[in-house]
């Protein structure tokens, strides 16, 4: 990708301003405001002041987390530095522990041993650190002699070295963890500062409990709420035993904000319809699209229908390149196969070490933070996802938006981020809310607002699969950052370390909503059943669908089978599929209208349904591997319609929208919006 960019937000209201950042090696590029669509008839170039030629420049991607200090932390003429450290990539080259530039302080050297540098002098223990082991490390300068030591917490193997030293003055600012992969706990400089990382875990603040108050701040979102050197395992909640969570886990590929300089902006016209838009960038034959959603002016909805764009899920998948380089569970053969499928967008993320919530850090640990303030090459209208060789996330939702654009009813677009911050007030004006195809990542605030919306008589159309699955938190100080931790159940790309299953930024339990008593079936009738990557199927109507109370849903539909077509995997039921489950909360009055069965063994039942290992998880043998279409009416006029499949949206636009999936969806939407 020779040109790439991002906006400073994903959702912008009419009358508000959005800024765009661009990087390209070409001396100039063209920018144009466009309306994306899978249909050439709906695709538009739009007039805007930003349209035209702009000067090109390359912008860097600063990565790596550390602690910095707003005022200088001195290095005394004589000193002692101490900390507990747990390296996770000790053989990855030089790494900073407590450092003033590159010439002073405690380091892990290129050989993986602890080294003290003072001026031009270096002294090292000479003993490589072991991955995942806690060490007490120290560096001391006394009477012209430098001494360094490393002492493992559990095993023998103390190492110590000393040498004469002639110190020079320090000009660089102090940093903690700069370039380090691993945990640091209880760092201190005798007589200068003593930092307690257990204070302010949910923030970016770092507190000095010594008298000089050399407080600092974290940069690039290192992982907090992680177990320290003294964790006993008696509690896995850092709020209960904060003294055992005094560590910060740094990674050399962490990123919070790319901090690119803006190139141009757009003040959204007051008459621009709510919907998906993009800035098309072109340079030297290369092209990119920076997507963003326009919502109505705040507090002024313009329609009865709202499409809820699953931007939290877009961010969870942002920059995903499948963990092919770092995941220890992938065989060399599978890694080669997956790498061969990667698109240019994936290769950009891989080359620049941009991580999704599915990827691993370079040290092999899972990545729990994702940010929208960076390039996201796979969050593009026309991106093709390698595993399914079809549209996914934003591109799949574009099929839904294309269909809505031809439905004949006006609609607004709102986003997960809007719902998280504004809650019920955002939903209340609308008679019906539609989801995207894969709304997997939900915050507590989103669930609370939607439950209140339904209690008040709202109507909800869940047009996707694997929705409302993972607990998702927004960082209170960095609202562009999401936190997602993978606990010990759920279909997961990596697993949290023991004791690290609470969200650092909120303190709430992480993992699946199902294990917090809020399985998606409770609100949305269905929940995750299985996932597969070969083909999608159609649905069979069930006897209950002919009951006069619900038969209107199938007006215009002939025959007992529908959905054997679509732009995503060839059918309306596939990729990730959902099913009813009474025990998990599907209400007793819900009507099961249709089901899709007969999936291959490419489709595997979710691991949270398997209590003991067996060979009965595939679609040919497991009764839970099916997708369900369900309808339920609730008190106060509330109602929910659920389709149970990620690929449903890709079938809406088949044959120009003249198909049974579109008819069924349209029948429900018309009834929900009309009263």
Q: Per residue in 130-170, pLDDT tens?
A: 999 999 999 999 999 999 999 999 988 899 999 998 877 88
Q: How many other C-beta atoms lie within 10 A of the C-beta of residue 487? A: 19
Nearest one of 263, 262, 273, 373 to 315, comparing CA atoms: 373
Across residues 344-370, what is the average pLDDT?
95
In the prediction, which pLDDT does 328 show? Answer: 52
The confidence score (pLDDT) of residue 120 equals 82
Mean pLDDT score, 246-257: 98
pLDDT in tens, 1-53: 899 999 999 999 999 999 999 999 999 999 999 999 999 999 999 999 999 99
Residue predicted with more confidence, 343 or 541: 541
pLDDT > 90: percent of the chain:
91
Q: Is the pLDDT of residue 187 over 80?
A: yes
Once rounded to an integer, what is the mean pLDDT over residues 486-497? 92
Could you tell me if 651 and 465 are in contact, meaning their C-beta atoms sit under 8 angstroms apart?
no
pLDDT tens digits for range 257-302:
999 999 999 999 999 999 999 999 999 999 999 999 999 999 999 9
- Label residue 662 by pLDDT band (50, 70, 90): very high
Mean pLDDT lowest for which of 59-68, 162-171, 262-271, 650-659? 162-171
What is this structure's pTM? 0.96
Instruction: Output the CATH code of domain 66-250.
Output: 2.60.120.200
Residue extents of the structural domains in the chain: 4-62+262-295, 66-250, 305-524+633-674
CA dihedral 31, 37, 43, 46 (to 10 degrees): -40
Whole-angstrom Cα distance, residue 512 to residue 607? 12
* pLDDT the model gives residue 383: 96
4-62+262-295 has which fold? Answer: Immunoglobulin-like (2.60.40)
CB burial class (10 A; 0-12, 13-18, 19+) of residue 204?
buried
pLDDT, position 615: 84
DSSP annotation string for 479-518: TTEEE----SSSS-SS-PPTT--B-TTT--B-SBGGGGT-
Q: Give the closest residue to 290 by CA, choosing from 8, 650, 649.
A: 8
User: Does the pLDDT value for residue 251 go beyond 90?
Assistant: yes
- What's the whole-number average pLDDT of the chain? 95
């Amino acid at each position: 990708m020779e040109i790439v960019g991002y906006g400073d937000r994903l959702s912008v209201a009419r009358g508000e301003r959005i800024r765009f950042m661009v990087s390209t090696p070409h001396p100039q590029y063209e920018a144009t405001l466009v309306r994306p669509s899978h249909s050439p008839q709906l695709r538009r170039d739009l007039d805007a002041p930003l349209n035209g030629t702009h000067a090109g420049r390359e912008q860097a991607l600063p990565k790596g987390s550390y602690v910095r200090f707003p005022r200088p932390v001195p290095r005394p003429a004589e000193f002692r530095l101490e900390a507990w450290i747990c390296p996770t990539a000790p053989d990855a080259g030089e790494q900073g522990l407590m450092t003033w530039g590159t010439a002073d302080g405690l380091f892990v050297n290129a050989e993986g041993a602890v080294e003290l540098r003072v001026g031009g002098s270096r002294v090292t223990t000479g003993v490589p650190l072991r991955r995942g082991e806690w060490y007490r490390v120290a560096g001391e300068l006394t009477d012209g002699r430098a001494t360094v030591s490393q002492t493992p917490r559990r095993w023998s193997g103390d190492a110590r070295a000393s040498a004469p030293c002639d110190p020079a003055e320090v000009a660089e600012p102090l940093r903690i963890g700069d370039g380090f992969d691993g945990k640091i706990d209880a760092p201190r400089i005798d007589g200068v500062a003593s930092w307690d990382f257990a204070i302010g875990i949910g923030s970016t603040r770092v507190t000095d409990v010594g008298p000089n108050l050399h407080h600092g701040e974290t940069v690039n979102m290192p992982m907090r709420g992680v177990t320290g050197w003294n964790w006993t395992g008696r509690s896995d909640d850092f709020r209960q035993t904060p003294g055992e969570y005094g560590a910060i886990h740094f990674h050399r590929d962490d990123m919070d904000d790319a901090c690119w300089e803006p190139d141009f902006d757009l003040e959204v016209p007051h008459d621009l319809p709510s919907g998906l838009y993009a800035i098309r960038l072109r340079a030297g034959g290369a092209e990119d699209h920076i997507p963003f959603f326009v919502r109505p002016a705040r507090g002024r909805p313009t329609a009865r229908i709202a499409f809820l764009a699953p931007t939290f899920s877009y961010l969870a998948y942002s920059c995903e390149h499948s963990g092919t380089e770092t995941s220890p569970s992938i065989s060399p053969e599978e890694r080669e196969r997956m790498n061969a499928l990667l698109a240019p967008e994936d290769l950009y993320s891989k080359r620049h070490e941009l991580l999704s919530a599915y990827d691993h850090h370079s040290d092999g640990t899972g990545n729990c933070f994702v940010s929208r303030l960076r390039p996201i090459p796979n969050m593009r209208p026309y991106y093709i996802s390698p595993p399914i060789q079809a549209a996914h996330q934003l591109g799949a939702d574009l099929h839904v938006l294309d269909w809505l654009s031809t439905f004949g009813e006006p609609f607004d677009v709102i986003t997960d981020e809007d719902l998280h911050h504004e809650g019920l007030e955002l939903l209340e004006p609308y008679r019906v809310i539609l989801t995207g195809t894969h709304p997997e990542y939900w915050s507590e605030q989103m669930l609370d607002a939607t439950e209140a919306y339904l209690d008040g008589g709202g109507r909800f159309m869940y047009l996707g699969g694997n929705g409302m699955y993972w607990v998702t938190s927004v960082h209170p100080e960095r609202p562009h950052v999401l936190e997602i931790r993978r606990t010990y159940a759920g279909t997961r790309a990596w697993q949290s370390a023991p004791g690290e299953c609470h969200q650092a930024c909120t303190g709430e339990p992480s993992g699946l909503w199902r294990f917090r008593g809020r399985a998606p079936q409770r609100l949305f009738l269905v929940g995750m059943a299985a996932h597969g990557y070969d083909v999608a199927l159609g649905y069979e109507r069930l006897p209950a669908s002919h009951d006069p109370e619900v038969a209107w849903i199938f007006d215009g539909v002939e025959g007992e089978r529908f959905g054997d077509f679509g732009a995503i995997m060839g059918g309306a039921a596939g990729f990730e599929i959902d099913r009813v489950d009474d025990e998990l909360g599907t209400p007793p009055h819900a009507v099961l209208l249709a089901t899709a069965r007969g999936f291959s063994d490419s489709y595997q039942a979710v691991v949270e349904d398997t209590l003991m290992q067996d060979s009965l998880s595939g679609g040919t043998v497991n009764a839970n591997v099916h997708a369900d279409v369900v309808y339920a009416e609730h008190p106060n006029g509330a109602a929910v319609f659920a389709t149970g499949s990620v690929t449903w949206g890709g079938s809406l636009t088949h044959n120009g929208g003249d198909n049974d999936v579109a008819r069924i969806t349209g029948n429900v939407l018309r009834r929900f919006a009309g009263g």
